[in-house]
Amino acid sequence: MAIEIRHLKTDNIADWTQAELDNQIRLGNYPNGTTLDDIVLPSDWNNDHDTTDINAALDDLGAFTMMMMGA
């Protein structure tokens, strides 16, 4: 049985640019040398996906709803 994970969409939250992340580094919110590849961006969570492993899904919870798909 597959589980479809539907995240609350984050289209209204723009991804940071490296300059914005650099500002957060200057503020002390991230360690020196952090790049956009090192952080989770809104676009990383913006797509729905399927999983057959409920444990992996539960370990990686965000704001979501679950719909049980046919077996």
Say if residue 20's pLDDT is above 80. yes
- Bridge pairing between strands 49-51 and 3-7: antiparallel
Alpha-carbon distance of 64 to 55, in angstroms, equals 15
Q: How is residue 28 annotated by DSSP?
A: T
Write out pLDDT tens, residues 31-68.
999 999 999 887 777 666 666 666 665 666 554 555 55
The pLDDT value given to residue 2: 65
Residue 44 structural domain? 3-68
Number of domains in the chain: 1
The pLDDT value given to residue 44: 74
Mean pLDDT of 27-33: 95
Q: For residue 64, what are the contacts with CB-CB under 8 A and spacing of at least 6?
A: 5, 6, 7, 8
Alpha-carbon distance of 41 to 47, in angstroms, equals 12
Mean pLDDT of 2-30: 82
Number of CB atoms found within 10 A of residue 37's CB: 6
